Amino acid sequence: MSVPLGGADPGSAAPGTRVPVTDAPAVARMADGEWHRLHPLTPLLRGGIGLVAVLGIVLANLRERLVDMFLSVFGVDESQQGGNDYAGDPIDQIYQHGLVGWALLALAVLLVLAIALFYLAWRMHSFRIGDDAVEVRSGVINRRHRKARLDRIQGVNVSRPLFPRIFGTAKLEVSVAGQDANVELAYLGSQLADGLRRDILLRASGAAAAASGQSLQPAAPGQSLQPAAPGQSQQPAAPGQSLQPAGPASAQNRASELITRRLNEFVRPELDPDAAPPHSVVSIPPARLIGSIVISEFTVFLLIAVGLVVAGASTGRYWLLVAVLPGVIGSASFYLRRFTRSINYSIAGTPDGVRVGFGMLSTSNETLPPGRIHALEVMQPLLWRPFGWWQIRIDTAGKSKQKGAAGQPNTTMLPVGNADDVARVLALALSAFATEQNRLLIQAGMTARADAPAPGAGPLFSAAPRSAAVLRPFSWRRTGYRIADGIVLLRTGAVWRRLVIVPLARLQSVEVRQGPLRRSLHLAQARLHTVYGPVATSLPVIADSDAFPFFTAVADGAIDAAESDRSHRWNTPA
Amino acid sequence: MSRRLDVQAEWHRVSPKYVLVVLVSSLVSGVVAGAIAAVIWLIMQVSWGWLLLVAVGIVTVVTLIVAPRRARSIGYALRDDDLLFRRGIMFQRFVAVPYGRMQLIDITRGPVGRALGLADLKFVTAAASTAVAIPGLPEADAGELRDRLVELAESRRAGL
């Protein structure tokens, strides 16, 4: 019915199978609406953790025996005192009863059974990418068939955990909204995963359908995207393809090529050169990354804790030092993990949305199609202010199971960056809004202390009345909103500065509330409801006379924006 | 003394019988809390237990007094493109939900409400915080409103 997906990876496929010479045809063939299987190494990679666990248990149980063997090799004879220690041990029992042959046979049968099961599971696990849906069938006894509509895609994530990455494979995850509603293709050949992502996004965008409607020739990936991608260089050859030998090569050559390719994959940033204009890429210098991780509230907490412990120890309570040791080790690994996860960060705009990649050993690379961001927050903790660093977090409806940058869920769009980086990321994430004329607005939202009226125009943000100082002594001047170009901006926080941006087209509902305290101060509280995420989309204080103008404007704006929204098929010609 | 928030709209109020549901439920919770306080005072012999009992009594009486007004404060309005919802006197809350944002509509009936022929309708969007729940609708009205909302949502279908 189909050829195993080793196609993209000549090194792991048997020489007898039909190995395509280049990847492009392979990809075109994979997204043809037929059922295909995953990479043949999948059982090994998926079961890898289980295998390690079983080995660990066996080793733990045999530890004493192994230590004993080790000692006896070095001539330490312990048989006098310890010879009968393992009288009840199954291995001794088997040996004493002469059952070695049976035991070995049982082991062999188990192994064969396990391999057969794994093989069967692999045979039964297949996927299909049609014109409007991605489907996965899996399971041997309990069959499962999952189908996700392409116009409901919230994001496509290609991740490469360390172990599968060594074998040149990757995991493709298509997220749709809902709990545990992701379609996971694990594992695929590395380049095949990239190709499939491009193909899925192309079909989801509606561009493929539009192209095939106009001309009957099959649309080549990347070619029907012309209107949306000016300046996109048409590179038919993906990196690594030039390494393909035309004629039969010797096994040695192939092996060295394979290693070169793997090495290239390891060092090259996670971006398709044909899909990402390089000038838009934001990069984080390692020094800044380390600084941002070290200069955090957690470090302050840690320093206080260490100070207390030292003070305690200096008065003779040395047990304190021992007690906090696990915590110290834990925080060291916390820092290290955040670092390795956030390094190699890259962000780029592609015709099919923003692509965020990061990771050193295990990498992850998520594409968010346009209009999938429900709320966005530009945030600056107090400690970052002297350095002018900012962080950007987002709310999305579908979440990848892979952890994102900094080990947080996949909601951190920019772990750390200066104001220029923020502007660049905003231009990618909210391309319709973050234009030159709104630059001033965003700047005011990020840094303005109070509302300085713009030259020639009224105030940029609404201002909270003076009475709000009772509730927000520091930030009441900054607290305000602005509705512009189908976007609501909420500015809050003077110590922890925050600018929240909510596209009206994604807004679920709007709320105004007022309790007795705020009523006596002539204030109210407004809140925008978006999908679940880390961004707090509320305005803690607003003048009560201003509350309903805001409420009405947002409610009407949301209706208009939802009507004109076309982002579920973002490349369909209107 | 102070300005109250208000929106001009064609507010539909919930059934007057809903007051009874609120009264019964606050009475039941008052009795349960009172029983706990009594146990603390009389059986566990905690000296300040009577204070607890008095506090429970006061809270219950106040709740019973404001119950009719609280029930009357709940309202909804079907505007052209969105559903407007309000509730609360002391703590006022106004929500506007575009019809197209509907994910599903829940109709539930509690024991007291069922005895009175009332049902609660819940409008669920992709945001958990929307929390638009219209209690105390006559059962026939609830079903009608649900069908109407579903129909409106269908004609204004939006993405997520």
Q: pLDDT tens-digit profile of A58-96? A: 878 777 777 777 777 666 554 444 445 555 667 777 777
Instruction: Give the side-chain half-sphere CA count within 13 A for B101.
Output: 31
CB within 8 Å: B96 and A524: no
CB contact under 8 A, A548 and B7: yes
Q: Looking at the predicted structure, is the pLDDT value of residue B89 above 90?
A: no
Answer whether residue B55 is part of any domain. yes
What SS3 class is residue A412?
strand
CB A507 within 8 A of CB A553: no
Q: What is the mean pLDDT of residues B78-100?
A: 92
Q: Are A39 and A169 in contact (CB under 8 A)?
A: yes
Band (pLDDT 50/70/90 cuts) for residue A210 is: low
Q: Between residues B113 and A59, which one has the greater pLDDT? A: B113
Distance CA B78, CA B11 (A): 8
| Phi and psi angles of residue A326, each rounded to the nearest 5 degrees, phi first | -60, -40
Q: Which of A513, A544, A559 sits opposite B93 (nearest CB)?
A: A513
Q: Looking at the partner chain, which of A532, A544, A547 has a beta carbon nearest the beta carbon of B128?
A: A532
Q: What is the DSSP letter of A401?
A: S
Per cent of chain A over pLDDT 90 is 21
Q: For residue B4, is it within any domain?
A: no
Specify whether B78 is located in the same domain as B151: yes
CB-CB under 8 Å, B159 with A567: yes
Task: Look up the ipTM and state it.
Answer: 0.90
Contact B5 A559 (CB under 8 A): no
Under DSSP, the state recorded for A567 is G
- Of A142, A112, A133, A219, nearest in space to A183 by CA: A133
pLDDT for A428-437, tens place per residue?
Answer: 888 888 787 7
- The verdict on B125 and B143 lying in the same domain is yes
- The answer to whether B95 faces chain A, any CB pair under 8 Å, is yes
**Substitution target from A151, A502, A514, A570 for chain B, most B beta carbons within 10 A:** A514
Asked whether the beta carbons of A366 and A400 are under 8 A apart, the reply is: yes
* Residue A222 pLDDT: 38
- C-beta of residue A380 within 8 angstroms of C-beta of residue A393: no
In a domain, B138, yes or no: yes
Whole-angstrom distance, CA of residue A140 vs CA of residue A105: 26
A322 contact partners, CB below 8 Å, separation of at least 6 = none
- The whole-number average pLDDT for the span B83-88 is 93
Above 90 in pLDDT, residue B56?
yes
Number of cross-chain residue pairs from A and B with Cβ atoms under 8 Å apart:
99
**Is residue B62 in a domain?**
yes
Identify the domain boundary among B32, B55, B71: B71
Q: Measured between CB atoms, does B8 come within 8 Å of chain A?
A: no
Is any Cβ of chain A less than 8 angstroms from the Cβ of B100? yes
Least confident of A309-323, B39-53, B63-77: A309-323
**Mean pLDDT, rounded, of chain A:** 78
pLDDT tens, residue by residue, A411-433 = 888 889 999 999 989 988 888 88
Q: Give chain A positions within 8 Å (CB) of B130.
A: 508-509, 511, 529
Q: Which of B95, B127, B159 sits opposite A530 (nearest CB)?
A: B127
Is residue B7 one of the residues assigned to a domain?
no
The more confidently predicted of residues A184 and A20 is A184
Neighbours of A86 (CB within 10 A): 15
| Same domain, yes or no: B151 and B91 | yes
Report which of A164, A330, A201, A333 is spatially closest to residue A275, judged by C-alpha positions: A201
**How much is the mean pLDDT over chain B?**
90
Chain A residues in contact with B125 by the CB 8 A cut-off are 508-509, 529
Query: How many whole angstroms separate alpha carbon A404 and alpha carbon A310?
Result: 35
Residue of higher predicted confidence among B65 and A252: B65
A-interface mutation test, from B4, B79, B129, B157, most A Cβ less than 10 A away? B129
pLDDT of residue A221: 40
Where are chain A's structural domains?
46-122, 286-342, 371-569
A153: chain B residues, CB-CB within 8 Å? none
Q: Please report the residues numbered 121 through 150 in chain B whose beta carbons come closer than 8 angstroms to any beta carbon of chain A.
A: 125-130, 132
pLDDT band at residue A404 under the 50/70/90 scheme: low
| pLDDT digits 0-9 by tens, A224-277 | 333 333 333 333 333 333 333 444 456 777 778 777 777 766 655 555 544 445
Q: Please report whether residue B20 resides in a domain.
A: yes
* pLDDT at residue A374 in the model: 92
Do both B79 and B66 map to the same domain? no
* B129 interaction partners in chain A (CB closer than 8 Å): 511, 527, 529
Lowest mean pLDDT among A472-476, B126-130, B131-135, B155-159: B155-159
- The band of A485, judged by pLDDT with boundaries at 50, 70 and 90, is confident
Question: With 0-12 CB in 10 A as exposed, 13-18 as middle and 19+ as buried, what is A333?
Answer: exposed
- Beta strands (DSSP E) in A207-361 are 346-350, 353-358
Q: Are B125 and A529 within 8 A, CB to CB?
A: yes
Please indicate, yes or no, whether residues B85 and B138 belong to a single structural domain of this protein.
Answer: yes
Three-state SS at A387: helix
Distance between A401 CA and the closest CA of chain B, angstroms: 19
Q: Which residue of B has its CA nearest to A509?
A: B97
In a domain, B26, yes or no: yes
Tally of structural domains, chain B: 2
| Disruptive mutation site among A509, A528, A563 for chain B (greatest number of B CBs within 10 Å) | A509
CA A50, A52, A55 angle in degrees (round to 5)? 110
Q: Which of A33-37, B52-56, B65-69 has the lowest mean pLDDT?
A: A33-37
Enclosing domain of residue B46: 13-71
Q: Does B157 touch chain A (CB under 8 A)?
A: no
Is residue B1, in this structure, part of any structural domain at all? Answer: no
| Long-range contacts at A162-167 (CB < 8 A, ≥ 24 apart) | A162/A361, A162/A362, A163/A45, A163/A48, A164/A41, A164/A45, A165/A190, A165/A265, A165/A266, A165/A361, A165/A362, A165/A363, A166/A262, A167/A12, A167/A41, A167/A45
pLDDT bin (cut points 50, 70, 90) of residue B36 is very high
Q: Which of B3, B98, B159 sits opposite A568 (nearest CB)?
A: B159
Claim to verify: residue B126 and residue B83 sit in the same structural domain: yes
B39 shares its domain with B111: no
- Say if residue A187 is preceded by a cis peptide, omega within 30 of 0: yes
List the single residue in A with minimal CA-CA distance to B127: A531
**Confidence label for A4 from pLDDT (cuts 50, 70 and 90):** very low
List chain B residues with CB under 8 Å of A510. Answer: 95-96
Tell me which residue of A465, A476, A501 sits closest to A378, measured CA to CA: A501
Regarding predicted confidence, which is higher, A194 or A451? A194
The answer on B27 and B86 residing in a single domain is: no
Residue that terminates a domain, selected from B71, B92, B112 = B71
Last residue of a domain, one of B71, B97, B117: B71
3-state secondary structure of A574: coil
Residues B22 and B92 grouped into a single domain: no
